[in-house]
Chain A
Amino acid sequence: MVKVGIIGAGYIAASHADAYDTHPDAELVYVTDPRPEKSEALARRYGATVVEHSDELLASDVDVVSVCTPSPTHAALTIAAVAAGKHVLCEKPLARSLADAERMVEAARRGPGMLMVGHVSRFEPDHRAARDAVMSGRIGALRMMSQSITSGFPTWSQDGWFADPERSGGPLVDLAIHSFDYLTWVCDAVPEQVHAVGSSRPDGLTDYAVATVRYDNGALAVVETSWAHPPGHGLVVTTELAGTEGRLAWDSAGTSVGAMNTSSGATRHFSQLGSRGFHRQIAAFLEAVMTGGPPPVSAQEGLLALQISLAAVESLRTRSVVRLSDIAARADS
């Protein structure tokens, strides 16, 4: 059995815990969070034990660690865990800054632990089916891509850290990074330049933006991201991939397999996606752990997606078209 520890017991940790819990080869052993009530609630639900500090968890006999903390804390925890020989599944974004992300890439290179980044979109069945269709040549060479992921403001962040641009980076860093990683993975090209336009709410958080990415093979991508939609909107994902021989597209509404209306006025959609993405992601992670294989999503790939996000943020700040090479150079200097 692979022994598992989870650092950070917030919203996304529950998805990790559920996936480990249902996996036949994994056992969730320890949970830690600065808020004991959060770690206790998660541990109770899955029969795990609470430890007070992440140091204790890293000193324990767990084989793998999921890092589910706010983005700015990813680097220190992940680097320590990898150095301690733990295999780490770090939530996206890899880090909040390029400097942190680059240190994590270096830590992953040194090991001895393995580092995987939690770009769960790659494991969602809809996203995977679309990529398989592209890879099997069904739409020819991929030329134009678009993804829109829009929702209301996420209510679950501890102390409201999502609302703090310094800590979360807003939806361009926390949400659109799913699209940046996925589209880059699907088109198998190198992102070269980015521009973005966005709209900020009164407190200054840019909670709506559209980013345009040009790749080195000429392909273009446009990504809409929002935490600004009204609560009734839900989470809406719309994706389109256009190639020289055809086009594929899907959206959340179109892939919901059914709906139920009740006298309360509420509508429930029977989306089949649910937790499948997380289950597949963690299965792929554990498979790599058990076979000593490479991480299914590497730190280098997490860094690349973060570069696109931060280039988009920089484009918004300076109202300019930003080359990724400039972003990377700035982080190095």
Chain B
Amino acid sequence: MPATVDTVLLGCAHALHARSYAGALEAGRSGRLVGVYDESAELGGRLAVELGVDYYRDPQHLLESLRPAAAIVCSSTSEHRGLVTMAAAHGVHILCEKPLASSPRDASAMVRACGDAGVQLHTAFVSRFYPVLQEVRAVITGGELGQVRGMVGGNRGRPPLPPRYPRWITEAERAGGGALIDHSVHVLDAMRFVSGLEASEVAAEIGTLFGDTEVEDSALVSVVFDSGAVASIDPSWSVMPESPWDYDFYLRVLGTEGSLSIATGRESVSVSGQYDGRSFVHVPFEPDIDQTMVDAFLRSVQEGHVLDPCASGEDGLRAVELATAAYESAATGQFVPVPRDRDG
């Protein structure tokens, strides 16, 4: 039996995800949570008490005292780089929340730091852990669809507003942007994952169309891949309070030999009845992909390499490169080449 992976939470500003990953650590058999750091004593201290572990105000101190094997980084996006490079310097393997960073420069520095330190860097692209997405990848890899020609995908959600979400997610400085960078990274990663293609050019439109957030809540991102295949991504926070579902994830693929379409939200039952302020909801029964992802991260740490289908730091970097180029396109009104850091 491999050793239990001692794991720490570095930053829990993304409290919703931090709680979910901590729950997965608790429920799984491969690891255990040993400590929590957050710059906010209120946020980190409360979560540590809730999870029954020690809170540290200083991440350096936490890493030196607890000597964990692994860290899950759930800070605000702008803090990712500092925490990841610090953990890497302590020989700690890392699962980092998406987007990996708010700029390709930060993301590639993180990838390099982890490479130099010989530790694994995983990006929390949970969508890869939908069984159906792995089935789609198998179908495409097996050649049943021929060459991929086009893809349309989306990951829409509710505007991530307080009190359910922290304020920083809708602040440009700390989040790196709005809906575009928040959700398009999932969809682009899913497209890369199933097709093996890399983006070469992008065009995007963005807007604050549904609410009054500082950052954009809507975007449409068009992608040209290096094979000539094309794609369109809808990452908008366009789901209103009245909606019977909270978020969706869909992908349509056209190949030279066929086409397919998936929508994970179909794994739900429709419930009519007055409950929690709504009278009609889709109650999902999709698998717990946070659990599968955390388990796969811990097994990767135990086995000493990044296991399929985990997303690496490079995968995280590719998505940040696309999102950044998409912002440039929206600002300039032009197609923009997607730069690719070959080191990363």
Q: What are 22 residue pairs bridging A and B, where the CB atoms are less than 8 Å apart in the complex?
A: A140-B240, A150-B254, A196-B222, A197-B224, A199-B150, A199-B254, A208-B149, A208-B254, A210-B152, A212-B203, A212-B232, A218-B207, A220-B205, A222-B232, A222-B234, A224-B150, A224-B252, A228-B149, A242-B236, A244-B209, A319-B201, A321-B203
Chain A, interface size: which category? 35 or more
User: Cβ of A195 and Cβ of B222 under 8 Å apart?
Assistant: yes
- With contacts A144-B218, A144-B236, A212-B222 known, is A246 near B242, CB below 8 A? yes
Instruction: Tell me the dominant secondary structure on chain A's binding face.
Output: strand
B334 is an interface residue with CB less than 8 A from chain A: yes
User: Cβ of B259 and Cβ of A218 under 8 Å apart?
Assistant: no
User: Cβ of A197 and Cβ of B231 under 8 Å apart?
Assistant: yes
Nearest CB to that of A198 among chain B residues? B230
Interface positions of A from 45 to 98, Cβ below 8 Å from B: none
Interface positions of A from 193 to 215, Cβ below 8 Å from B: 193, 195-199, 208-210, 212, 214
User: Cβ of B259 and Cβ of A245 under 8 Å apart?
Assistant: no
B141 is an interface residue with CB less than 8 A from chain A: no
Contacts of A148 in B (CB 8 A): 152, 252
User: Cβ of A245 and Cβ of B335 under 8 Å apart?
Assistant: no
Nearest CB to that of A142 among chain B residues? B209
Q: How far is the CA of A220 from the CA of B238 in the complex (A)?
A: 12
User: Cβ of A244 and Cβ of B232 under 8 Å apart?
Assistant: no
Query: What's the least CB distance linking B218 to chain A, in Å?
Result: 6
B72 is an interface residue with CB less than 8 A from chain A: no
| CB 8 Å contact bits of B133-150 with A (1 = contact, 0 = none) | 000000000000000011
User: Cβ of B234 and Cβ of A146 under 8 Å apart?
Assistant: yes
Q: How far is the CA of A35 from the CA of B85 in the complex (A)?
A: 74
User: Cβ of B238 and Cβ of A197 under 8 Å apart?
Assistant: no
Contacts of A233 in B (CB 8 A): 259
User: Cβ of B230 and Cβ of A199 under 8 Å apart?
Assistant: yes
- 8 closest A-B pairs by CB: A197-B230, A143-B209, A199-B149, A210-B232, A242-B238, A195-B203, A197-B222, A212-B220
- With contacts A196-B222, A197-B203, A245-B242 known, is A226 near B333, CB below 8 A? no
- With contacts A143-B210, A229-B259 known, is A321 near B334, CB below 8 A? yes
Query: What's the least CB distance linking A208 to chain B, in Å?
Result: 5
Contacts of A146 in B (CB 8 A): 234
A256 is an interface residue with CB less than 8 A from chain B: no
Q: How far is the CA of A150 from the CA of B203 in the complex (A)?
A: 22
